[in-house]
Structure 1
Amino acid sequence: MNKLFKGIAILVITIFSISHAEAQKLKKFGSSTEKKIGPKTVRVPYTDVVSYLGYAAQGNEDEVKDGKKFYYIYIWIPAAAPELGVRMISPVDKMKIKDAIESQEYLDNKDSKDYFDTYITLERSSILKKEDISTEAVANAEWVTLEKNDDSSELPKDPRGRKYNSLLRYKSNVSDPLKALTVGLYRVGFTTYKKGEVSGTFLAEVAAPVKLPGVQMAKTIDALLEQMK
């Protein structure tokens, strides 16, 4: 019985380890454009992807909106784009992301086991020029929510096996000046679907189907301005 029990235990551990390793594999970020390859239809990967590793701490939210604690990542988009994709995964755990921007908060907490049920928004501001960006201007800017997402089956599951990570794709609406993807200041807002605390490491990626040299991402306006120098 002991040998049988040990054998079952080893098998369970092995299966869990394989499943956990597979959960860490992050597929290429696919755009809304699909291509048929043989019997399969696949998404064409985005050409340009900017990755940001961060850590959300309780009590460090940027705004309380509709009863939810929202955090923001600011993004400077230097050229018009036909489409933008955004995805967020928590926790980062053992994922290896090449050339990612690593925030100091992430570096200080990268071993944390905390994670959260991500809920994301993509917002465009009324600020269209680099020289107009400042903390005061951002606080007084008009923000338009272009798209939002809660759960996506395309992303790795969370440690409890739930499909709670988020992904959105937004195509530029050139007929509506407020919803066209022009040069300007954008932000990704994130929180949890349910009201509560947001705490844990996360990977946020913003992508486009064309090269956009000069895209910048930062948690604060001061950090964004420093990157843009």
Structure 2
Amino acid sequence: MKKLNFIAVLTISMFAFTQVNAQKLKSFGSSIEKKIGFVKKKVPYTDVVTYLGHAAPNTEDEVKNGKKFYYIYVWVPAVAPELGLRMMSPAKKVKAKNPIKGKNYDANSSSDDFFDTYITLERSNIVTKEQIKDASSANWTVLARNDDSGEMPKQPSGRSYNSLLRYKSKVGNPTKALTRGLYRVGFTTFKRGEVKGTFVAQIGSPVKLPGVVMAKTIDELLAQMK
């Protein structure tokens, strides 16, 4: 009996250890690969901005195709060859340097709630700071989207339901190029339903882009840009 109890405790401990470590974010790699010995590895983004937030049911910004979408607004101050975006939920064990925090994050940072992330990277037709105040009438173009990524840590459920995308600028296409301007991260769940839990969203670039800011609302974005 003691032996069985020991095995049970060991199994539970190993499961807990796996769950804790499953949510640990690794270096955010770009699409650029370098061969190190016999292994190809993605070159890490040199510039990464982190946003920690909490999504609550019935606080969505928009309903599209029956799904409740939430947005995080992003100001990109210069032309970029590529942008990477990733999201993980929950965010309770995430450690990041100088993260931007949503106003409801700290109050919910210990929550075990999480959701199956589905992300979009969208670009607006707003290209100057002065135009941002008129964002309510902006036109938005979806540049890329992702549901599940095998590169991301598994969620506490054991499933690979966190998201990651990389988007290379299409210089010859005015609406698909990564220029200076207002962007947004859209997120929801793959299945229709409520979005509930903490999350970490990161935007990375292979070149330095001083002045990138992220915020849940346009007013908060403008306040950060002052």
**How many residues are matched?**
226
CA distance in 2, matches of 1:159, 1:20: 6
SS at match of 1:133: helix
Q: CA deviation at 1:7?
A: 1.2
Structure 2: 5+ residue stretches without partners:
none
Residue aligning to 2:173: 176
Q: CA deviation at 1:57?
A: 0.5
Candidates 222, 226, 229, aligned match of 2:219: 222
CA distance in 2, matches of 1:114, 1:15: 21
SS at match of 1:104: coil
Which region of structure 1 is more displaced relative to structure 2, 123-132 or 10-19? 10-19
Instruction: Describe how 1:5-20 pairs up with structure 2 within 5 A.
Output: 5-20=4-19
Residue aligning to 2:24: 25
CA distance in 2, matches of 1:24, 1:133: 35
Letter in 2 for 1:112: S
CA distance in 2, matches of 1:85, 1:131: 26
SS at match of 2:156: coil
Q: Does 1:140 align with 2:105?
A: no
Q: CA deviation at 1:20?
A: 2.2
Q: CA deviation at 1:189?
A: 0.2
Q: TM-score, normalised by structure 2?
A: 0.98
Q: CA deviation at 1:138?
A: 1.4
Letter in 1 for 2:32: T
Q: CA deviation at 1:4?
A: 1.6
CA distance in 2, matches of 1:31, 1:79: 18
Root-mean-square deviation (Å) = 0.9
CA distance in 2, matches of 1:112, 1:3: 35
Residue aligning to 1:60: 59
Q: CA deviation at 1:177?
A: 0.5
Residue aligning to 2:189: 192
CA distance in 1, matches of 2:135, 2:57: 23
Residue aligning to 1:206: 203
Residue aligning to 1:87: 86
CA distance in 2, matches of 1:133, 1:197: 29
Over 2 Å off, 4+ runs: none
Residue aligning to 2:46: 47
Q: Does 1:165 align with 2:162?
A: yes
Q: CA deviation at 1:25?
A: 2.2
Letter in 2 for 1:143: W
| Identical counterparts, % of pairs | 63
Which region of structure 1 is more displaced relative to structure 2, 102-111 or 188-197? 102-111
CA distance in 2, matches of 1:161, 1:223: 35
Deviations 1:129-162 (A, max 9, x none): 001111xx21211100000000000111111100
CA distance in 2, matches of 1:82, 1:48: 13
Q: CA deviation at 1:223?
A: 0.3
Residue aligning to 2:100: 101
Structure 1: 5+ residue stretches without partners:
none
Letter in 2 for 1:185: L
Which region of structure 1 is more displaced relative to structure 2, 95-104 or 29-38? 95-104
Residue aligning to 1:153: 150
Q: CA deviation at 1:13?
A: 2.2
Letter in 1 for 2:145: K
Q: CA deviation at 1:79?
A: 0.3
Deviations 1:151-198 (A, max 9, x none): 000111111100000000000000001100000000000000111000
